[in-house]
């Protein structure tokens, strides 16, 4: 079974080489990585190209002309991964917040036909002690907010470490996604739940990045807060079918 992990990058040049080292060092069979870089000014895209020499066809790079949001980077990456025959499509951040050593467990869960979500808020999961209190509160609140408004039966609604069986991902109408930024994670979970797919939350420790900077912004947070309210109306047809 072919697994492709889609990794969006924007200014991640320090993280990319050790990240790929870690992922391919797992020795997991038939594991591929697709980097989606938004023309990072720090040269992450060129660096990714040069790493192809080391990893060969296991590493692919897709370049987008400008920074255009995490959600849109994923939509583009998912389409490529599926077109190239991936059976399982993973998604993870480039900054080591998502634990590489949980990848085999995530693939295992997805191979059973479930959406595997790396979860900070189930037993055994946690977030970095170094995370500032406001960031912890925001993350926790964001999850509860989405869960309550959308009726999601998930403990971690906003996390970005997920593995999709292609059977689920191919049924999600991604052309309807309007979220440009991080709220994309919630929108995808919502659609998957409306379509009746099962999820499996796998506990993770979410580490704070040690290199590079976060791209989270006030604008992204506002988009998320508003979009969550709009989703039920936007997917009324799917809700009614349920």
Ligand X SMILES: Nc1nc2c(ncn2[C@@H]2O[C@H](COP(=O)(O)OP(=O)(O)O)[C@@H](O)[C@H]2O)c(=O)[nH]1
Site of interaction with ligand X (CB under 6 A): 8-10, 12, 36-38, 67-70, 73, 93-95, 97, 209, 214-216
Which of Mg ion, ligand X, none interacts with 70 (beta carbon under 5 to 8 A by kind)? ligand X
Pairing of strands 162-165, 115-119: antiparallel
236/96 Cα distance (integer angstroms) = 37
Q: Which residues touch 146 (CB under 8 Å, ≥6 apart)?
A: 152, 157, 158, 186, 189, 228
Q: Which residues touch 219 (CB under 8 Å, ≥6 apart)?
A: 181
Instruction: Choose between 30 and 210: whose C-beta lies nearer to Mg ion.
Output: 210
Min dist CB 91 to Mg ion, Å, is 13
Instruction: Choose between 32 and 98: whose C-beta lies nearer to Mg ion.
Output: 98
Which of Mg ion, ligand X, none interacts with 8 (beta carbon under 5 to 8 A by kind)? ligand X
Is 159 in contact with 137 (CB distance < 8 Å)? no
* Exposed e or buried b per residue across 153-179, where buried means at least 16 C-beta atoms within 10 angstroms of its C-beta: ebbbbbbbbbbbbbebbeebebeebeb
Is 176 in contact with 234 (CB distance < 8 Å)? yes
Min dist CB 11 to ligand X, Å, is 7
Phi and psi at 148, nearest 5°, equal: -70, -50
Q: Is residue 97 within the footprint of Mg ion (CB under 5 A)?
A: yes
Pairing of strands 205-206, 126-127: parallel
Instruction: Choose between 36 and 204: whose C-beta lies nearer to ligand X.
Output: 36
What is the size of the binding site for Mg ion (CB under 5 A)?
Answer: 4
Which of ligand X, Mg ion, none interacts with 12 (beta carbon under 5 to 8 A by kind)? ligand X
Instruction: Choose between 51 and 216: whose C-beta lies nearer to ligand X.
Output: 216
Min dist CB 98 to Mg ion, Å, is 9
Phi and psi at 70, nearest 5°, equal: -60, -45
Min dist CB 236 to ligand X, Å, is 29
Helix orientation angle between 44-55 and 16-24, rounded to the nearest 10 degrees: 30
Which of Mg ion, ligand X, none interacts with 67 (beta carbon under 5 to 8 A by kind)? ligand X
Instruction: Choose between 31 and 94: whose C-beta lies nearer to ligand X.
Output: 94
Site string for Mg ion, 175-214 (x = CB under 5 A): ----------------------------------x-----
209/57 Cα distance (integer angstroms) = 28
Instruction: Choose between 8 and 165: whose C-beta lies nearer to ligand X.
Output: 8
Instruction: Choose between 94 and 191: whose C-beta lies nearer to Mg ion.
Output: 94
Residue numbers at the binding site for Mg ion (CB under 5 A): 93, 95, 97, 209
């Amino acid at each position: 079974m072919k697994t492709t992990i889609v990794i969006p990058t924007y200014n991640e040049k320090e993280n990319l080489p050790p990240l790929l080292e870690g992922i391919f060092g797992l020795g997991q069979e038939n594991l591929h990585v697709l980097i989606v870089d938004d023309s990072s000014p720090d040269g992450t895209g060129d660096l990714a190209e040069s790493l192809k020499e080391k990893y060969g066809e296991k590493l692919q790079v897709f370049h987008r002309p400008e920074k255009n949001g995490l959600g849109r980077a994923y939509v583009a990456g998912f389409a490529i991964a599926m077109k190239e025959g991936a059976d399982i499509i993973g998604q993870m951040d480039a900054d080591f917040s998502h634990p590489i050593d949980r990848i085999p467990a995530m693939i295992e869960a997805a191979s059973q036909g479930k959406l595997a979500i790396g979860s900070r808020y189930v037993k055994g999961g946690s977030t970095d002690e170094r995370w500032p209190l406001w960031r912890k509160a925001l993350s926790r609140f964001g999850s509860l907010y989405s869960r309550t408004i959308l009726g999601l039966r998930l403990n971690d609604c906003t996390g970005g470490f997920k593995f999709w069986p292609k059977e689920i991902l191919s049924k999600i109408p991604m052309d309807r996604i309007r979220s440009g930024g991080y709220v994309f994670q919630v929108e995808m979970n919502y659609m998957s739940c409306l379509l009746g797919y099962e999820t499996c939350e796998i506990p993770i420790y979410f580490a704070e990045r040690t290199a590079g900077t976060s791209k989270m912004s006030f604008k992204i947070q506002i988009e998320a807060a508003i979009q969550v309210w709009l989703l039920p109306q936007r997917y009324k047809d799917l809700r009614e079918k349920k």
